């Protein structure tokens, strides 16, 4: 009769990268009752499951600090594709967009519309799949606690639902709040912190439109409101984070530098970290992003910390060529054809020699804007039935084929029956500049936007990309530093002190991967959203296993069907 196993799981002979930034060490890790029970050396006991970790890295599960998966929690228990990338915890309600409180039908409709408008999540999916069987934050948290999901989740109090609950709609997005209303918002925020919220979030980005072109709460509120809410964060439980998509995010260096003083004032008001960004590299200001990072460091003071969040990937938005995406809007003749008759209008344009000639002129004189350089090397083919063009930029393709970029696009659109997807790189287009950002000691890696922009962007694979591109290919980070930025640093910042490291007694959130094979392998569309919606997902390889609260959650990136995830609360 075999002896009874002492552990639920033992991973043997792995390269342990523990999330602290310290050097790797070979050995075993044992898990029992949801916690890490033994680390390093040879574990003498046996496990109910034993995994050979030889030549594999065992690290803490990745913590994604910037997602918009609030609604997905109610229709996708596996939280794909995030869970397939080794992510074991996600932070929701970023940029001010959350699902509670919602006091009445009008407030609920506005909260849904704002999330859908800015984060490009179909409103029909949210309304069909999110039950909204709550009103205030206590009933919302009770609902979250009943969810059966694959990975952990933690929330923030969003500015949009907070203002809608106190000021009502449309006042939430049209006027400043009175002192009594600010005090009422502070009381709701304090309640959220007591319920386990990690902090507060808002969106002040200049140019971000709300529903129907309206302003957003973070754009119309007064400084007194946000300073008062920051003070509440400083006196509440938990890490008291103030996270924001900052006003000058898409503006020039002068505006971004000026914005820093506002971030410091918020940090001084709370005494807690203020997370801003993403800090992107931009085509109109080479080196500007790194300069901003350096200024953040130079301005740090005790109890007034600003944390610059960065993305490790080029920021781009995909679009079809029969819809008015960013590239089409840069070509007036093409835009007119789309607005007149969609795909049929573009087909007619393709057959019109004078129209093609006009397009060539427009294509050679595209103007730069804050979100697009106007250069064809910053336009790439991301999806086509012709695989030889996928991943290529339009500048080099057009030279290679001896045709104008606009002619090439028209021909591709017709050949693919308008399934072609092109992307304009809006930010982080210079790989060398992004390398400097990634390696910057002050940089907080995040900005995946998982759950958002579902037809245009798929940066939820950011952790895989970091290990593939910035560790293995570019060597901008060591493996141990990258793992720390993806795990231990995040846990420390977000007050999740019971996880984020491979240490005895901490929660067994783990990921086992092949450092030589981990990589993204392609992008595809899947039709799996509520009400028949479609989304864009990235596939990856090299991820052997993830463990959530001591339970094996994925194998080779595929869900095991387990549901060990839970809502997390801050732990010192």
Identify which of 478, 485, 523, 463 has the alpha carbon closest to the alpha carbon of residue 88.
Answer: 463
**Rounded distance between C-alpha atoms, residue 534 and residue 169, angstroms:** 31
CA angle, residues 79, 70, 278, in degrees to nearest 5: 95
* pLDDT of 24: 98
Give Cα 278 to chain centroid, integer Å.
Answer: 10
Residues 6+ apart with CB under 8 A from 465: 312, 313, 520
Measured between alpha carbons, how far is 562 from 173 in angstroms, rounded to an integer?
A: 41
pLDDT value at residue 283: 87
3-state secondary structure of 495: coil
Question: Which of the 8 DSSP states describes residue 488?
Answer: H
pLDDT digits (tens, 9 = 90+) for 207-238: 899 999 999 999 999 999 999 999 999 999 99
Tokens of 195: 């319920």
Cβ pair 199, 156 in contact under 8 A: yes
Nearest-angstrom CA–CA distance, 506 and 565: 15
- For residue range 29-54, list pLDDT tens digits in order: 999 999 999 999 999 999 999 999 99
Instruction: State residue 461's pLDDT score.
Output: 98
User: Can you give the pLDDT at residue 402?
Assistant: 97
Give 310's contacts (C-beta < 8 A, 6+ positions apart): 277, 278, 279, 280, 289, 437, 438, 440, 443, 444, 445, 446, 447
How many Cβ atoms are within 10 Å of 388's Cβ, its own excluded? 9
CA dihedral 77, 80, 82, 83 (to 10 degrees): 60
Q: Which residues contact 432 (CB under 8 A, 6 or more apart)?
A: none
- pTM to 2 decimals? 0.95
Beta strand 47-52 with 7-16: parallel, antiparallel or unpaired?
parallel
Phi-psi region of 455 (alpha: psi -120 to 50; beta: other; left: phi over 0): alpha
Answer whether the bond into residue 81 is a cis peptide, omega within 30°.
yes
Element (H, E) at 440: none
Q: pLDDT (tens digit, 9 = 90+) per residue, 332-355?
A: 999 999 999 999 999 999 999 999
Sheet strands side by side (includes 152-154)? 62-64, 87-91, 152-154
Q: CA–CA distance from 186 to each of 162, 193, 273, 533 (Å)?
A: 9, 11, 18, 37
- β-pairing verdict for 379-383 and 241-245: unpaired
Q: How many C-beta atoms surround the C-beta of residue 222 within 10 A?
A: 12
Asked if 533 and 122 count as a contact pair (C-beta separation under 8 A), the reply is yes
Please name every residue paired with 44 in a beta bridge, in sequence order, or none if there are none.
none
* pLDDT on residue 289: 96
Residue 110 has phi, psi (to 5 degrees) of -70, -45
Residues of the chain with pLDDT under 70: 1-2
Distances (CA, A) of 105 to 101, 102, 110, 184, 246: 12, 8, 9, 20, 29
Residue 2 is predicted with a pLDDT of: 58
b/e burial code for range 103-125 (CB count within 10 A of at least 16 → b): eeeebbbbbbbbbbbbbbbbeeb
Question: CB–CB of 177/163 below 8 Å?
Answer: yes
8 Å CB contact between 274 and 226 = no
């Amino acid at each position: 009769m075999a002896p009874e196993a002492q552990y639920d799981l033992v991973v043997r002979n792995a390269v342990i990268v523990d999330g602290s930034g310290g050097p790797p060490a070979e050995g075993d890790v044992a898990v029992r009752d949801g916690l890490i029970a033994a680390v390093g050396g040879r574990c003498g006991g046996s496990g109910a499951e034993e995994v050979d970790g030889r030549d594999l890295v065992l690290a803490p599960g990745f913590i994604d600090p910037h997602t918009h998966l609030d609604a997905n929690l109610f229709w996708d228990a596996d939280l794909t594709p995030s869970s397939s990338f080794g992510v074991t915890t996600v932070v929701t309600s970023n940029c001010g967009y959350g699902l509670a409180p919602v006091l009445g039908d009008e407030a609920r409709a506005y909260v849904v519309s704002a999330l859908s408008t800015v984060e490009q999540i179909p409103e029909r999916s949210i309304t069909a799949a999110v039950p909204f069987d709550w009103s205030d934050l206590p009933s919302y948290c009770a609902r979250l606690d009943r969810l059966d999901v694959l990975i952990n989740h933690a929330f923030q109090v969003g500015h949009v639902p907070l203002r809608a609950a106190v000021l009502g709609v449309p006042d939430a997005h049209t006027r400043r709040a009175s002192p009594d209303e600010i005090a009422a918002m502070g009381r709701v925020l304090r309640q959220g912190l007591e319920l386990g919220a990690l902090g507060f979030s808002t969106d002040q980005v200049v140019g971000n439109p709300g529903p129907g072109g309206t302003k957003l709460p973070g754009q119309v509120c007064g400084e007194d409101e946000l300073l008062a809410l920051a003070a509440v964060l400083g006196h509440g439980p938990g890490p008291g984070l103030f996270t924001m998509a900052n006003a000058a995010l898409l503006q020039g260096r002068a505006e971004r530098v000026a914005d820093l003083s506002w971030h410091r004032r918020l940090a001084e008001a709370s005494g807690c970290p203020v997370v801003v960004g993403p800090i992107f590299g931009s085509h109109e200001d080479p080196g500007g992003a790194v300069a901003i990072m350096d200024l953040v460091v130079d301005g740090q003071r005790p109890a007034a910390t600003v944390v610059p969040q960065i993305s490790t990937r080029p920021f781009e938005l995909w679009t079809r060529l029969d819809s008015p995406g960013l590239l089409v809007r840069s070509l007036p003749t093409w835009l007119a054809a789309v607005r007149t008759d969609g795909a049929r209008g573009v087909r007619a344009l393709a057959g019109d020699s004078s129209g093609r000639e006009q397009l060539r002129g427009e294509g050679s004189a595209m103007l730069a804007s804050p979100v697009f350089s106007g250069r064809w090397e910053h336009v790439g083919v991301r999806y086509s039935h012709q695989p030889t063009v996928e991943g290529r930029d339009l500048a080099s393709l057009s030279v290679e084929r001896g045709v104008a970029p606009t002619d090439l696009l028209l021909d591709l659109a017709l050949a693919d029956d308008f399934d072609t997807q092109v992307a304009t790189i809006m930010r982080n287009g210079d790989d060398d500049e992004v390398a400097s950002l990634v390696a910057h000691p002050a940089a907080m890696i995040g900005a995946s936007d998982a759950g958002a922009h579902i037809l245009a962007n798929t940066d939820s694979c950011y952790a895989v990309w970091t290990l593939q591109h910035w560790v293995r290919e570019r060597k901008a980070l060591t493996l141990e530093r990258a793992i720390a930025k993806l795990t231990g640093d995040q846990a420390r910042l977000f007050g999740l002190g019971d996880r984020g490291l491979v240490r005895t007694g901490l929660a067994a959130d783990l990921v086992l991967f092949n450092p030589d094979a981990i990589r993204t392998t392609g992008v595809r569309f899947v039709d799996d959203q509520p009400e028949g919606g479609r989304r864009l997902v990235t596939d990856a390889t090299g991820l052997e296993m993830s463990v959530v609260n001591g339970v094996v959650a994925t194998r080779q990136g595929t869900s095991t069907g387990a549901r060990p995830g839970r809502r997390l609360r801050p732990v010192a």
